[in-house]
Amino acid sequence: MQRYFVYLAYDGTSYHGWQIQPNGNSVQEELMKALSTLLRRPVEVVGAGRTDAGVHASLMVAHFDATEPCDPAFLADKLNRLLPPDISVYRVVPVKADAHARFDATSRTYKYYVTTTKTPFGRAYKCRLFGAPLDFCRMNEAASVLAEYTDFTSFSKLHTDVKTNNCRIMHARWEQVSDTEWVFTIRADRFLRNMVRAIVGTLFEVGRGKLSVEGFRCIIEQKDRCKAGTSAPGHALFLVDVEYPEEVFI
């Protein structure tokens, strides 16, 4: 048995998220179907995380097992021929038998894109902000508070099956990329379901002056999702990186 990591990207617009759903199409299901067709047997796929419905990934990692060694380049090419146009495989990499795409990941990085102007070509991938300009300096002041905490129950989807709501956030910051565009980058060892969108939505409240930096801190400390802001739209969120220790690779 040989285990492989698949590095892939997808446009999440048409999917109910990464994870297989009983009543909707998922990226995981598409990848499993393609691999099962190629390897001529049922193949289970485990992803590095679960992106929500409509969320994209410019880099996701998943693992699967093959009964016999495969040519990684050949497999990547054949997968791209079978997968729909909105899912693409960068490469397939052999890893150690116990390597795990989810549990061995040391960090994940997300980016959230916003624009202050109407953009016909970016509307599917950026969140348009209306009204008075946001105070991004104040939003960065609030975002810096995240590194002081580990329990992010306030930014987690309710009634999930995780055992802990603890995460270690290593980086969280807004950067201006043009006169009308900003991007929020956040990196952590793990993320809770809906966490990034809930953080971004609450930071919007800070930027609008409806919530102070201390108020943002209080929301974290209250550990109550109902106290935080509305989740930002999913279409502007991208998983952009997943990191692993060198020892998982062959």
For the question of residue 11 being annotated catalytic, the response is no
State how far the alpha carbon of 152 is from the alpha carbons of 144, 193, 206, in Å: 14, 11, 18
Cα separation, 222 vs 239, in Å, equals: 28
Cα(23)–Cα(79) distance, integer angstroms = 24
Cα angle 199, 122, 116; round to 5:
60
Beta bridge partners of 243: 107
Residue 240 tokens, joined = 């952009």
Q: Which of 52, 86, 104, 135 is catalytic?
A: 52
Please choose, from the candidates 184, 177, 24, the residue with its C-alpha nearest in 3D space to the C-alpha of residue 110.
184
Token duo for residue 74: 């050949």
Q: How far apart are CA 78 and CA 64, in angstroms?
A: 16
Q: Any idea which residue has 């179907």 for tokens? A: 33
Residues tagged active-site = 52
